[in-house]
Structure formats: structure tokens, C-alpha cells
Amino acid sequence: MKKNRIPSEADRRTIRAGRCYGALVLTVLACAALTCPALAADDPLTIVGNLSDFVFSIIKALGVIILGWGIVQVGMSIQSHDASQRTQGFLCLFGGLMIAFAKEILSAIGAV
């Protein structure tokens, strides 16, 4: 009858190192096999402009989410008559407005 051998700490480290090495090799092979050529656009300034528009749209979406959360906080504070929550709600509301209209504010002062 075969005895079950309990692996020692050195055996466990060897097995773990082998698994990590195998995962590394598979990752490198996948990166090498799945590469595709990237075709550049004609004008790099249009790419930077598109990236800027994308980043500002993400910032605007976050600002609208914060604005909505501020409205919810103000509504809950009015319902519960909590002055500190009302203050937090108004701060969140005005902060969300500033974040949502960050591009327009920066354009108005001439920064963008």
C-alpha cells in the first residue's frame, strides 16, 4: 500500500516557483503571439485632442454622478432635519457642478 507523503516546505516552494515560471512563460508567449500592428493617424494633434475630449467626458460623467449623490444627500437631510448632512449635501452638490462643468470653466478662464 502506498503511503501519502506530506510535501516539505522546500517541495512546496519548488512547485510554486514552477507554477509562477509557467504562468510567466505563457504570458510572454501570449504577448508575442497576439501582437498586431498599430496604424498611426495622420496628425498627432487630432489624437491628443480626441484623448482630451475623452478624458473630459469621463470627468463630466463623474461630476454628474457626484451631483446626483449631492441631490440625494440634500433630500435626505431635509427629510431627517439634519444640518450637518445638509451641509455635506450642498458641498457635494456644488462640487459635482464644478466637476461636471470643468471644461467649460477652464475654457472661460482661458486655460484650455
pLDDT, tens digit (0-9, with 9 covering 90-100), for 13-39: 888 999 999 999 999 999 988 888 777
Measured in degrees and rounded to the nearest 5, phi and psi for residue 97 equal -60, -45
| Number of neighbouring beta carbons within 10 Å of residue 97 | 16
* Coil, helix or strand at residue 1: coil
Helix axes 44-80, 83-100, angle to 10 degrees: 160
| 9-13, 50-54, 69-73: least confidently modelled range | 9-13
- Quote the radius of gyration of the chain (alpha carbons, Å): 28
> What is the pLDDT at residue 24?
94
C-alpha cell at 34: 497576439
> What is the pLDDT at residue 35?
84
> What is the pLDDT at residue 111?
77
**pLDDT over threshold 90, residue 43:** no
> What is the pLDDT at residue 4?
76
